[in-house]
């Protein structure tokens, strides 16, 4: 196993922390549940959000972080079902 120089590890941790803090500071509670990975300027986002707008917003916010070179969007959208839909499915 090859050990990364400390400055590389620090860069990854810093990007991870900045993305996590930025998403957590938003008014969308589901952003706090997004899984984040950072490596060599690439940030991967995984999780489930309730709208395409929130998906686009999460990606756009992370893309603006200094040091991020690429955002890999693995977020899914799961629209909430209405009571009428649930009743009709029963």
Distance of CA 65 to the CA centre of its chain: 12
Q: Percent of the chain beyond pLDDT 70?
A: 74
Residue bearing tokens 């940030």 = 43
The pTM for the full model equals 0.77
Q: Domain 6-89: which CATH class?
A: alpha beta
pLDDT digits (tens, 9 = 90+) for 16-30: 999 999 999 999 999
């Amino acid at each position: 196993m090859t050990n990364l120089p400390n400055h590389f590890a620090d860069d990854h941790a810093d990007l991870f922390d900045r993305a996590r803090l930025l998403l957590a500071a938003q008014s969308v509670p589901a952003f706090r549940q997004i899984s984040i990975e950072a490596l060599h300027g690439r940030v991967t986002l995984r999780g489930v959000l309730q709208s395409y707008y929130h998906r686009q917003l999460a990606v756009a916010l992370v893309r603006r972080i200094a040091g991020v070179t690429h955002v890999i969007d693995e977020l899914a959208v799961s629209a909430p079902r209405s009571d009428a839909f649930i009743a009709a499915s029963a």
